[in-house]
Amino acid sequence: MRCQALHHSDQPLPEAAGQKRTALSEYLEQIVFPAERGNPAPTSPFASWKITWPKTARLLILCLALGWTAMLARAQGVEVTDNDVIQVAERMYCPVCENIPLDECQTTACQDWKEEIRAQLAAGRGPQEVIDSFVARFGDHVVGLPQDPLLRALAFIAPLLATATALGLGVITFRRFSRRPALSPNFGDAAGEQTDEVYRQRLEEDLRARR
Amino acid sequence: MLAEIGLAALALAFLLTIYATFASLAGARAHAARWRESGRRAALLTFPALLLAAGMLIIALMTEQYQLTYVYEVTDPRTPPFYRFTALWGSQRGSLLFWSLLLSAFTFGAISLNWRSERRLMPYAIACMMATLAFFLGMSLILENPFERWWISADGQAVARALIPAGATAPTEASLRAGAEGLNPLLRHFGMAIHPPMLYLGFVGFTIPFAFALAALASGDLSSGWLRVTRRWSLIAWIFLSIGLILGGRWAYDVLGWGGYWGWDPVENAAFLPWLMGTAFIHSAMIQEKRGMLKLWNMFLVIATFSAVMFGAFATRSGVIDSVHSFARSEVGFPMLAFWAAMTLIALGALLWRWNRGELRDEQQFANFLSRESMFVLNNVVFVALFIAIFWGSFALPIASELFLGKEVTIGPETFEFYVVPLFIAMYILMGVAPLSAWGRMSAARLGGALKLPLMLSLLSIAALILIGTNAAVASFGYGVVLFAGFVALYEIYRGAGARRRSLGESPLRALAALFGRNQRRYGGYIVHLGVTVIGIGVIGSTVFQTEVQHTLARGETVAVGAYALRYDEFTRAQAVDGRMMSISDVTVLRDGAEIARIRPRVDEFPQMPMTIAGAHSTLENDFYVLLISGGRERATFRIYINPLVNLVWWGGILLIIGTAIAAYPKVLPERPQRKREAS
């Protein structure tokens, strides 16, 4: 919500995405849809072999090509913007100053962590993977939402149960009170005066008992 | 000499509180007027004694008496006079003395105003107030003495002692001046002059309602008297706490440099918890006043509010939680925990004892589910649920996890928002429905009829928002719910003024003034509701539609952000009068190609930490808020926020304070003569 204008960092950057889509789609068209479908002759090295490829072999090559592209992207690194780093950092907390979000903290430790986030994102890890790696090394206190299933359940369910219990106790109490006869059967806006009257009566009874 | 006078005044105040506690209790138990009067005078004297002690510390701060360890720790020769003064509450020891001073002032006020009208309650109330004050003064004297001084002992070691150790000498003025540490950079803000005192006034103020509640339980005088007094003092405390919270949000927005005003930090939450309980009490007290119901519950809420204040003081001052707002780890933790537990248990024990004796029985029964008292009970359920959820996430779960599972956890905004968003929606709906319901009995048809117009206006507003392009369904729904509460408040004011115009032929303005004059509490309350509505609109706008981006710009380069653009013009390094170095960037804000503002986000470099001071261009529509993250003359990195409607949060806060002031202001004209005039 806070970063509505930011793009999600596990999505490719617009220009990079465009480049990837063009190269891949051209290659796909050349391999999967040959010249009889109106596409130009394949320009891949395999085309010059003049062998009719069965469908399975084409798919195999496609998978290899995809794998190759992914490996290249991973090896060369993905461009990571400051906004990508912020988006992860704002879900984490400073390791030194408790309760200070990582993206806001200016300590050296936080700068180092932000650089590590940048490096992990550049290596192709998704935001959640990055967070998980920090939690695995430093524990649940580095994130605002516990990753441990028990703690997460406690964080969400316990207040609900406590509120429901408080509500239940309240209802039981009101019912008990409702069953008791009211001190005054009258409705009205002079409850204060009635209360004083009740108090005076009780005081007089106390005094009579003392005598 | 200053330290000696201050210390003597502090010790005298402590002795007076002990004497006042026992004299008042003895006077009340033995029905001895002389003891009661003596206790009262002793309690009154604590205020001038503490005024003298605090005065000595202020003089020491202003005249640079660095031999006092407190002055040494919170100021240095470069500290401007303004921050020398605010340093009184800038650290643990000074703030404890300040807390005691405020408590003695409140006690002075309560005794002066209520001694004659509440003679049976006052001795017990004084005993409770003085016992609380004695605790804080005891901590000041024994653990956190603000008049402690530096000494060079016989073996050449620097030691901090309130009284001169045998054979010790005072250190040289030059060495003290050279080593003085200066105020925490976070506290060097104009808000420091107002935010902590307001917050402390709120916290301390809730001691008075608690003292009267405990006095009612101890004396058995459970008539309407304690509630009448308690409600007014609660409103006074509540108004200060509200101002403190709003200013705290503003301080965070200006100084902490994260583009927001509420971060669900444990210490922020510690201040919010008593506010929630106090708000629940202010509402449910009306049911007891009008209908003689919820006596047990009201007592419980007053006790819970005070308990939340004491727990907050413990959490902030003990070092049990770390936060930008908390004090350093200190020895006061265990005594504070013990005092909090003891006072809460004593009060709850007395409450259960009176309840068991049947002395807190309600005078009326709940007539039906749609009655106003039922709505108020639901409102209380919402506030208590908010209290439980926030307390759990801020304190109970982190502490329990560390104690029993050996795991540290941090509960962040995403967890809190899971609860508070639906609960606040429920609160706004109840704010809309409850004022239109009636005490006693209310039929669904009548309530439905009353709700028709505000509901229709809310639906029309949602439709209008969608038509003008609000594409977030959550926001449109949120605006609708919040506006519903606001429309009901306006509708009620309009109906009231309209009725006066019709029956008495008054002009609209006169009818409005008379309406507020005749029923301050009711209509002041509606202004508070309007304030909360405006705050709600600001919160939705600034959270759902906030834009946050970071860009590195070369000098002269421009970047577009939303409807705006930012141009990086210049970079300057400068030294301030207090010695800090400042990295200042000059940037120009543009809209539709035209320059609309020049702002200077900067980084202040203090020895303890760097401070990011935002530059902002504020309009009612939004804040264009810029932080300098890093950079130099040729290139600089900026974090830019567009915070839509954020200023409504502050304006709503002002409206809320005005409304509370109207509701709490004592009536000027007695009711009967006014009625006679109107009749004639």
Task: Work out the burial of residue B113: count CB atoms within 10 Å of its CB; fewer than 13 is exposed, 13-18 middle, 19 or more buried.
Answer: middle
Averaged pLDDT for residues B173-198: 80
- For the domain spanning B189-369, the CATH number is 1.20.120
Of B258, B257, B201, B262, nearest to B233 (Cα)? Answer: B201
How far apart are the C-alpha atoms of B645 and B656, rounded to whole Å?
17
Q: Which residue from B minimizes the CA distance to A96? A: B322
Q: pLDDT per residue over B484-502, tens digit each?
A: 999 999 999 998 888 888 8
Averaged pLDDT for residues B213-226: 86
Binary contact (B414, A144; C-beta < 8 A):
yes
Instruction: Read off the pLDDT band of B592 (50, 70, 90).
Output: confident
Our separate counts of H helices and E strands in chain A read 7, 0
Binary contact (A191, B551; C-beta < 8 A):
no
- In sequence order, the 6+-apart residues with CB closer than 8 A to the CB of B286 are B376
Contacts of A162 in chain B (CB under 8 A): 388, 392
Binary contact (B292, A142; C-beta < 8 A):
no
DSSP secondary structure, B467-478, as one string: HTT---HHHHHH
Size of interface A-B (CB pairs under 8 A): 189
DSSP secondary structure, B93-153, as one string: HHHHHHHHHHHHHHHHHHHHHHTTTTTTTHHHHHHHHHHHHHHHHHHHHHTS-TT-EEEE-
Q: pLDDT per residue over B234-249, tens digit each?
A: 999 999 999 999 998 9
Residue B99 has pLDDT above 90, yes or no: yes
For the beta sheet containing B635-644, the strands, ordered from the edge strand earlier in sequence to the opposite edge, are: B547-554, B635-644, B622-631, B615-618
Residue A26 has pLDDT above 60, yes or no: no
Instruction: Read off the pLDDT band of A174 (50, 70, 90).
Output: low
Give the torsion sign (CA, B493, B498, B499, B504): positive
A195 in contact with B, Cβ within 8 Å: yes
Ranges of each domain in chain B: 1-184, 189-369, 443-544+657-672, 547-644
Instruction: Read off the pLDDT band of A65 (50, 70, 90).
Output: low
* CB distance B583 to B573 below 8 Å: yes
Binary contact (B440, A187; C-beta < 8 A):
yes
Instruction: Read off the pLDDT band of B654 (50, 70, 90).
Output: very high
A4 in contact with B, Cβ within 8 Å: yes
A111 in contact with B, Cβ within 8 Å: no
Mutate to test the interface with A, among B298, B365, B551 (most CBs of A within 10 A): B365
Instruction: Read off the pLDDT band of A43 (50, 70, 90).
Output: very low
A205 in contact with B, Cβ within 8 Å: no
Contacts of B552 in chain A (CB under 8 A): 82
Supply the pLDDT for residue A11. Answer: 34
Terminal CA-CA length for chain B: 67
Per DSSP, helices labelled H in B220-319 are: 224-251, 266-291, 295-318
pTM of the predicted model, to two decimals?
0.82
Q: Which residue from A minimizes the CA distance to B288? A: A191
Q: Which residue from A minimizes the CA distance to B385? A: A163
Q: Nearest by CB to B393, which of A100, A107, A155?
A: A155
Binary contact (A158, B397; C-beta < 8 A):
yes
How far apart are the C-alpha atoms of B264 and B393, rounded to whole Å?
9
Averaged pLDDT for residues B404-417: 85
Q: Which residue from B minimizes the CA distance to A156? A: B415
How far apart are the C-alpha atoms of B129 and B308, rounded to whole Å?
17
Residue B184 has pLDDT above 90, yes or no: no
CA distance B299 to chain A (A): 15
Q: Which residue from A minimizes the CA distance to B285? A: A192
Q: For A58, phi and psi rounded to 5 degrees?
A: -60, -40
Q: pLDDT per residue over B472-481, tens digit each?
A: 888 899 999 9
Contacts of A91 in chain B (CB under 8 A): 412, 414
Q: pLDDT per residue over B601-634, tens digit each?
A: 998 888 767 788 889 999 988 999 999 988 888 8
Q: pLDDT per residue over B252-262, tens digit each?
A: 888 776 778 88
Q: pLDDT per residue over A104-159, tens digit each?
A: 777 778 888 888 999 999 888 888 889 888 888 888 888 888 888 888 888 888 88
SS3 category, B573: strand
SS3 category, A85: helix
* CB distance B500 to B515 below 8 Å: yes
Supply the pLDDT for residue B559. Answer: 93
User: What does pLDDT average to over chain A?
Assistant: 64
User: What does pLDDT average to over chain B?
Assistant: 88
* CB distance B42 to B108 below 8 Å: no
Kindly provide the residue ranges of all beta strands, DSSP E only, lying in B418-475, ordered along the sequence: none
How far apart are the C-alpha atoms of B490 and B578, rounded to whole Å?
50
* Of residues B564 and A204, more confidently modeled: B564
CA distance A137 to chain B (A): 13
- Name the CATH superfamily housing domain A82-142: Cytochrome C biogenesis protein (1.10.8.640)
Contacts of B221 in chain A (CB under 8 A): 199
CA distance A78 to chain B (A): 18
* Of residues B676 and B540, more confidently modeled: B540
Residue B235, Cα to own-chain centre: how many angstroms? 12
Token pair 């990582």 is found at A102
Of B432, B390, B295, B312, nearest to B351 (Cα)? Answer: B295
Q: pLDDT per residue over B517-554, tens digit each?
A: 888 888 999 999 999 999 999 999 999 998 989 889 99
Binary contact (A99, B407; C-beta < 8 A):
no
Residue B21 has pLDDT above 90, yes or no: yes
Instruction: Read off the pLDDT band of A94 (50, 70, 90).
Output: confident
Per DSSP, helices labelled H in B168-223 are: 173-179, 195-205, 207-219
Residue B481, Cα to own-chain centre: how many angstroms? 26
Q: Nearest by CB to A146, which of B409, B419, B637?
A: B409
Q: Which of A195-199, B224-228, B385-389 has the lowest mean pLDDT?
A: A195-199
Q: pLDDT per residue over B148-164, tens digit each?
A: 998 888 888 888 888 88
Q: Which residue from B minimizes the CA distance to A164? A: B385
Strands B615-618 and B622-631 turn out to be antiparallel
Averaged pLDDT for residues B267-286: 92
